[in-house]
């Protein structure tokens, strides 16, 4: 049975709590993990980069000078790609690049990630901290919490509920910390970090999230 260590605001260990997760460890699949992450990065691309062809340039299409007798090279249009500020030949155009990932692949990747974090030390932290009783967010205080845990210089993923605005406003300005909602995890963000942090009050939300990865 997996356990999670709960820390207080001073960074001291308070207790160990069992996660009680009925999750079976699945076989690791680096190929599936690579495919899922690449699909995320590909689908996040906006695809809005574009350049103008010679037909979209606003210059006049009048012949700059007559064909013969000037001693200059032949020219038919100011829109020619050979000219400065002319059109672009075979330039990029807006397009959509999307790939699909089925639920079985997604669950397998999440399962592999979860077991990798649970099997290593100092990868999962639970904080006994709640700002709901305070009047306003306090980034200085929550940064001191990370400093007490010794992870202020690490890449941290913090799981929060979607409507936890006060805690979100407190943690969001820390440069190396990424806030992720329990309802919207993705394989790229939860692996592009050194450790996970969650609040004790959200432990049930964490259990429900990872239980769906079985």
Residue 68 has what DSSP assignment?
S
pLDDT of residue 134: 62
| Tens-level pLDDT at each residue, the chain (214 residues) | 577 889 988 888 888 888 777 778 889 999 999 999 999 999 998 888 999 999 999 999 899 999 999 999 999 999 999 999 999 999 999 888 889 999 999 999 999 999 999 888 889 999 998 876 667 888 999 999 999 999 999 999 999 999 888 899 999 999 999 999 999 999 999 999 999 999 999 999 999 999 889 8
What percent of the chain shows pLDDT beyond 70? 98
In this structure, are residues 19 and 3 in contact, taking their beta carbons and an 8 Å threshold? yes
Domains in the chain: ranges and CATH? 3-45+99-211 (3.40.1370.10), 47-96 (no CATH)
pLDDT digits (tens, 9 = 90+) for 47-97: 889 999 999 999 998 999 999 999 999 999 999 999 999 999 999 998 888
Question: pTM for the full model?
Answer: 0.79
Strands (E), the chain: 3-7, 13-18, 124-127, 156-160, 177-181, 195-199
pLDDT of residue 174: 94
pLDDT of residue 96: 82
Mean of the per-residue pLDDT values of the chain:
90
């Amino acid at each position: 049975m997996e356990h999670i260590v709960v820390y207080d605001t001073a960074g001291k260990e308070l207790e160990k709590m069992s996660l009680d997760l009925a999750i079976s460890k699945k076989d690791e699949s680096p190929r599936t993990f690579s495919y899922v992450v690449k699909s995320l990065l590909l689908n996040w691309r906006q695809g809005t980069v574009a350049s103008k062809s010679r037909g979209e340039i606003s210059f006049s299409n009048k012949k700059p000078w007559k064909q013969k007798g000037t001693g200059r090279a032949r020219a038919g249009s100011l829109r020619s790609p050979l000219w400065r500020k002319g059109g672009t030949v075979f330039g990029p155009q807006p397009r959509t690049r999307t790939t699909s990932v089925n639920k079985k692949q997604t669950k397998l990747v999440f399962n592999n990630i979860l077991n990798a974090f649970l099997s290593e030390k100092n990868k999962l932290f639970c904080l006994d901290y709640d700002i709901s009783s305070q009047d306003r967010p306090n980034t200085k205080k929550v940064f001191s919490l990370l400093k007490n845990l010794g992870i202020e210089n690490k890449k941290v993923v913090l799981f929060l509920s979607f409507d936890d605005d006060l805690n979100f406003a407190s943690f969001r300005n820390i440069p190396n910390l990424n806030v992720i909602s329990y309802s919207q995890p993705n394989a790229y963000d939860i692996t592009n970090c050194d450790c996970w942090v969650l609040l004790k009050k959200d432990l049930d939300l964490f259990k429900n999230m990872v239980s769906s990865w079985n």
